[in-house]
Amino acid sequence: MLFPSSKNPFNRGVAQRGSSVPWTDGIVPYEFAPGYTPTQVEFIIAAMHQLERLIAINNVQCIMFRPRISSDPYYIRVTNGNGCSSYIGQNTGVTMNRTVTLNYPGCFVQAIIMHELLHTLGFFHEQSRPDRDEYIRVNYENVILGMERNFEKYDNSIADTLNTPYDYGSVMHYPNNGFSSNGLPTIEPLQPNVTIGQRANLSAIDIQEVRILYNCSATGITLPLRTTTTAPMVHLINITLSSALTVNNPTYDRRDNGNSSCYYDTFNLSVSLAGTYYIGSNSAMDTYGSLYNGIFIPNRPDLNFIASDDDSGDDSRQFQLQLFLEPHVQYTLVATTFSNMVTGPYAVIVSGPQRATLILTSIVGTTPVAPITTGSYSTNPATVIYMINTTVSSALTVNNPIYDRRGDGNSSCYYDTFDLSVSMAGIYYIGSNSAMDTYGSLYNGSFIPNRPDLNLIVNNDDSNGGTQFGFAVSLQAHATYTLVATTFSDMATGPYAVIVSGAQRVTLIRTTIVGTTPVAPITTGGYQTNPATVIYMINTTAFSALTVDNPIYDRRGDGNSSCYYDTFDLSVSIAGTYRIGSNSAMDTYGSLYNGSFIPNRPDLNLIVNNDDSNEGTQFGFAVSLQPHARYTLVATTFADFETGRYTVVVSGLQRVTLIRTTIIGTTPVAPITTGGYQTNPASN
């Protein structure tokens, strides 16, 4: 980052005599143009305060943003216009227009706002430095025609590096593919193994340069201390979720340098009210948090990235993100550590105007916690008097699924599954009541029938009096557990009840998929399966429509096709062959992916593509699916820019899970790119 010299003109005109780039006394008065909601204004002001806090030395403030008063000769006007941009400095003599444009939602990432405010404070982009050609190469042949101006280099008469080194890690540096016309890099670092274009936070050198320009001091009180820096927090509602990183957690290359290995957890995060949310941690570990739009792809942590943070929390080793979250959007929070291979307990706290939904979704490789041996389950009134019971009645029948409970290759026990979650952490007693000899198992997250050893927390046969299972277990709030109720012996059937006792009523929902009885196929008009096999098929149908608000991708991969598409999460609970097809007046086109679909790399993860195998112009294919794997179905059209209604039908041995996951309309972050997170072009 570097700032323009005040004694020479910025390249748009001639500086006025006596003009100055730095704001007088470090004070930037502001006003907001109409066009923002109160929560959006709050978010921008909170980013201003965060910038003040980063520049402050020993809490002595050095720059300040405050509402303008009538006697202010200069002030910025924050406007919800197109793109993210700011003029440079208080007064370069060029214009009296000091509009700072922060488009909602495109610019509503804290580091992007701070990037623009650094322009306001007087700084150019890092790659405009006079010495930049010693550090980067600009590939003008890849720059969008007309955008070359964004790669201008300023000489020493205009720009001052403040004697700081070139900073690849500056928040003011463009990414590799900024303004790229063809996806190829527009900027290439000349040094190996450096990352450019980060929009997570100010770098140490960014902070140092502001302090130099504004003569910040660690001792002198240059500005009155702000006494209400934590004021926004008092109106917030917190949700806290405890977890722990263990050697059973997955790892990923967090620093994306090819050799970092950090254990991590993933959380689904969503909110029902738009607004500013604070996402932080509390731990003895040095934590590191990242937020993603939609899914997190461990081997491509740059995709879907919104923001990350290492140490902005109150305790200096804790992450804290401040973000504007949209309602009903699925975000993924990745909680990890600054260093490799660190394990330990921690908590995530999300604060905002309303309670957020935060669900731990990490898939751990083996048992995440040691099995709990509790001796005996007791229904003694003395121990349950403070307990609140939740009871669910069920029955095992010949229509229930079976699994190899003893893991000896030949046991066959009918079972039920239940989703179990609690809203208050604590010890819960879980047991059964039945004439059968029952057997209970609790799993962290999912139960995988052909791998009953995975995710297991506790097993029990007879601890609850006679032949009934029972155990005590410490449950976390808002985590999803799976209770498996089965029998000690093979092929036993009969009614039973599950009772969960604890400090509060729990959520206990039977999720067993029953019914091996063949069901007549649903006639959908277009989709026909083989008559010889359909009588054993169960259909799952999803209705949707492609509209101009759908995302597009280059379906033919020829660089210029543009097809609207939908994505669906698809998973099955029984392995087997499934037929997947469409019914529509459009000429549809279907693709199935293993795991994630990456729109700008549709060749990755691809299992099968089909255009017209299913009667006329409808896609259709048969594919062998594994249970509890996650597949992505992409439904699109043969031709570009086609819109219309359609139906997806999946036929197989059992009902499948088919959930539309398309993100429609404007999204708060830039489109997925392969070169990192990219901000809006306009800047100065």
Active-site residue set: 116
CA distance 484 to 323: 39
> Is residue 683 at the binding interface for Zn ion, with CB under 5 A as the rule?
yes
User: Which CB atom, from 464 or from 683, has the smaller least distance to Zn ion?
Assistant: 683
To Zn ion, the closest distance from the beta carbon of 625 in angstroms equals 47
What residues from 109 to 138 belong to the interface with Zn ion (CB under 5 A)? none
The answer to the question of whether 328 is labelled as a binding residue is no
- Sign of the CA dihedral running 16, 17, 19, 24: negative
Query: Does 198 sit near Zn ion (CB under 5 A)?
Result: no
Closest to Zn ion by CB, 88 or 650: 88
On the CB side of 238, how many CA atoms lie within 13 Å of its CA? Answer: 10
Least distance from Zn ion to the Cβ atom of residue 188, Å: 19
User: In the complex with Zn ion, which residue's Cβ is closer, 115 or 254?
Assistant: 115
Q: Which residue is nearest to Zn ion (CB)?
A: 683
Contact 466/382 with Cβ under 8 angstroms? no
| Strand blocks (E) in 70-217 | 76-79, 84-86, 99-102, 136-138, 159-160, 187-189
Locate 562 and state its tokens: 């543009």
173 is in an annotated binding site: no
Q: Which segment (106-114, 436-444, 474-482, 675-683) binds Zn ion by CB under 5 A?
A: 675-683
Question: What's phi and psi for 334, nearest 5 deg?
Answer: -110, 120
Measured from the CB atom, is 87 or 418 closer to Zn ion? 87
- 478 marked ligand binding residue: no
Three-state SS annotation for 601-655: CCCCCEEEEECCCCCCCCCEEEEEECECCCEEEEEEECCCCCCEEEEEEEEECCC
Of residues 351 and 683, the one with the C-beta less far from Zn ion: 683
Calculate ∠ Cα 556-562-566, nearest 5°: 90
Adjacent-strand bridge partners of 136: 189
Q: What is the SS3 string spanning 121-149? A: HCCECHHHCCCHHHCEEECHHHECCCCHH
- Which range of residues in 21-29, 97-105, 444-452, 676-684 is near Zn ion by CB under 5 A? 676-684
Strands annotated E in 182-302: 187-189, 237-245, 251-252, 262-270, 275-283, 287-293
5 binds Zn ion (CB under 5 A): no
The minimum distance between CB 14 and Zn ion, in angstroms, equals 23
Q: How far is the CB of 122 from Zn ion (least distance, A)?
A: 13
Q: How many residues bind Zn ion (CB under 5 A)?
A: 1
Shortest distance, position 115 Cβ to Zn ion, whole Å: 6
List of E strands, 285-423 = 287-293, 305-309, 320-325, 331-337, 344-352, 357-360, 388-396, 402-403, 413-421
Would you say 434 or 683 has its CB closer to Zn ion?
683
The least distance separating Zn ion from the CB of residue 186, rounded to whole angstroms, comes to: 14
| Interface positions with Zn ion (CB under 5 A) | 683
Known binding residues: 115, 119, 125
User: Residues annotated in the binding site for Zn(2+), as ranges?
Assistant: 115, 119, 125
